[in-house]
Structure 1
């Protein structure tokens, strides 16, 4: 009797692991989709990051500019959403990334063991994944929050540092939000200056249903769906902790990068998205590490690094809708250059990045496979049968209010 119960579970997990090496999976990971490519929104993200890095340097605060840039990255979220929906979501994200940086800075100042850092980072990853998924927010995902916490932990060494890091990230988030909403602000201002009627404005912009962030989190989802999101968040937290622990055990210098690798791979709600993102992130990191290694070996200086960060950030945003591997190809050097602004990195850091990311991806896929559900396997078969349309599927569930809007 016990054997009959175990066998189906083994088969389900075996089928999940088999999907990793399936030719369909790898073809799917390499497929390109240029149908949703845009330039305006990526340029605004690059502008937001560039502004805080330039202003920070001009004020003599280069060590804080990187943390402000992490706050400005909220501008990369919610691109498909109508502006009335996007605004409160970006504000919530700005508050979230500021809070995460405050926690990360506190951890860097007072945590006296790597175990504490791993546990806190894993918990933050789980919470971020739940909130981002529950609010149906499209964008870079929870990995940005883990990146922010890790960066703040590396910067802060005193109580004063905690305050400076938190303030810098808050200012960066405000700048990012303002730039992301700039087209809407300009349109509203122009309408008022021209004394356009409300009906005229409505005829140009389809009305969007506004939402309450708290109502959405508290009861906007069916109980079964909230439970699914909670279980997914726990799985991601566990995978992040395991990946970081393995990285520590083999004496890698940046174990939290392994946690980020696990989070980035698993932040897709469905299993086939976890596998696809894992494959794409691994391929992108391999290529990106080569680029980063070359750039870190060259004496770019602060301004050269800023130029590289902005260029790679814009490229990452453009390529995010084309193929996640190409996006990761740009993200890797951007992240390493940004980290190097305050921490200083050698070319060997690029190798660490690949190793840490590989650990995180493998752990993420294994944890996802061991906890996969039966209907996920059925979805895999349906996904394989419809592989040519795979790239039309979003990384996270699209918000209902934005489902008919393309990226701006």
Structure 2
């Protein structure tokens, strides 16, 4: 089948009733609590310390760093360590890139191009290291937030420092059960060799994992994400929307799944979740919440989002949307009307992402679609 026929089949798949039914399917048996609670605890600690020390406008960057705890949840702890270390560096780097863009200023299209390239690089990184979690869109969100915040050199330093501190908290929170078992073993003298033996089978160095990755395929996929993000933001700019990078994030979020069918599911789920989340966000932004009120809402929403991430991405987005807007409002303040912009921008991004995915779909993906018909 030629590429034109593949793309047509892919676009038809979006309109299939089964595609929408599968996208809104909920499986509560997949819900977990322990890992989400550790993520919530890490974010809580960062917000509390930031609030008590008076760094209210910087608290969001610390929380973004702490979100590294949301990655690598299925990985055995010895494998998780190296991957979390990479993420703990990647998150501050993303914030630093965005903050530098904010200080330098310049044409809006330059910022769109740089952050879209960052999204592609982040996607390549998580794919090549087999990192499970929120994906490249988190690094993109961090860079966008830093670009809006930073206006002078010291802002860059503070943002990167807060993100780095939060990342340390996030890594420790993710590894907490393993570290505590090791500490208990050291104190009691009991060996944990059996656990180490079972997990060492799947242990692999970062270097070896990168060496085994299908780089040519992943580079092509990362390039698609870069193009989709930049194109979605460009369309939003042309349409006169105030937050074009939200459109770029919508495209990236939809496309960061490996297969086209996953992109369709994530796109539908993110769109449905954003509509409901925008309504919730508008209500929360209309309330006279102070720092601590906003933080309490963010922590609850973040924990719910982590629990729902394995159940259904629409429910996850339902919590993520107001959480992200509340986190953004800590540094700049937002009106309830911004929730409408969020839905429109995200809609543009999702549609753009799915079209790009359809135009570049592989033969293997088309066969998978037909097998599901």
Q: Shorter chain as normaliser: what TM range?
A: over 0.9
- Structure 2 residue aligned with 1:134: 128
Q: Is the 8 A contact 1:97 1:145 kept in 2?
A: yes
- In the TM superposition, residue 93 of structure 1 has moved relative to its aligned partner by 0.3
- Structure 1 residue aligned with 2:91: 97
Q: How does 1:2-401 map to 2 (within 5 A)?
A: 8-199=2-193, 202=196, 206-217=199-210, 219-221=211-213, 225-382=214-371, 384=372
- In the TM superposition, residue 269 of structure 1 has moved relative to its aligned partner by 1.0
Structure 1 residues 121 and 200: CA distance shift in structure 2, 3 A: closer
Residues 6-37 of structure 1: CA distance to partner in whole angstroms, max 9, x if unpaired?
x8332211111000000110010011112221
- In the TM superposition, residue 196 of structure 1 has moved relative to its aligned partner by 1.0
Q: Is the 8 A contact 1:84 1:208 kept in 2?
A: no
| Inter-partner Cα distance in structure 1 for 2:207 and 2:328 | 33
**Structure 1 residue ranges, 4+ long, deviating more than 6 angstroms after superposition:** none
Length-normalised TM-score, structure 1: 0.89
SS of alignment partner, residue 28 of structure 2 = coil
- In the TM superposition, residue 88 of structure 1 has moved relative to its aligned partner by 1.1
Length-normalised TM-score, structure 2: 0.97
Q: Is the 8 A contact 2:112 2:245 kept in 1?
A: yes
SS of alignment partner, residue 96 of structure 2 = helix
Q: Is the 8 A contact 2:7 2:359 kept in 1?
A: yes
Q: Is the 8 A contact 1:70 1:172 kept in 2?
A: yes
| Inter-partner Cα distance in structure 2 for 1:370 and 1:202 | 46
- In the TM superposition, residue 227 of structure 1 has moved relative to its aligned partner by 1.4
- In the TM superposition, residue 199 of structure 1 has moved relative to its aligned partner by 3.8
SS of alignment partner, residue 196 of structure 1 = coil
Q: Is the 8 A contact 2:103 2:152 kept in 1?
A: yes
| Inter-partner Cα distance in structure 2 for 1:275 and 1:100 | 27
Number of paired residues?
Answer: 373
| Inter-partner Cα distance in structure 1 for 2:103 and 2:196 | 51
| Inter-partner Cα distance in structure 2 for 1:192 and 1:236 | 46
Q: Is the 8 A contact 1:253 1:352 kept in 2?
A: yes
- In the TM superposition, residue 210 of structure 1 has moved relative to its aligned partner by 2.5
| Inter-partner Cα distance in structure 1 for 2:143 and 2:193 | 45
Q: Is the 8 A contact 2:135 2:256 kept in 1?
A: yes
| Inter-partner Cα distance in structure 1 for 2:153 and 2:173 | 31
Q: Is the 8 A contact 2:78 2:199 kept in 1?
A: no
Structure 1 residues 108 and 22: CA distance shift in structure 2, 3 A: same
| Inter-partner Cα distance in structure 2 for 1:81 and 1:162 | 33
Q: Is the 8 A contact 2:286 2:336 kept in 1?
A: yes
Structure 1 residues 200 and 320: CA distance shift in structure 2, 3 A: closer
Q: What is the root-mean-square deviation in Å for CA atoms of aligned residues?
A: 1.3
- In the TM superposition, residue 226 of structure 1 has moved relative to its aligned partner by 2.0
5+ long unaligned stretches in structure 2: none
- In the TM superposition, residue 326 of structure 1 has moved relative to its aligned partner by 0.5
- In the TM superposition, residue 343 of structure 1 has moved relative to its aligned partner by 1.4
Residues 196-229 of structure 1: CA distance to partner in whole angstroms, max 9, x if unpaired?
13546558x6444332223322x122xxx32111
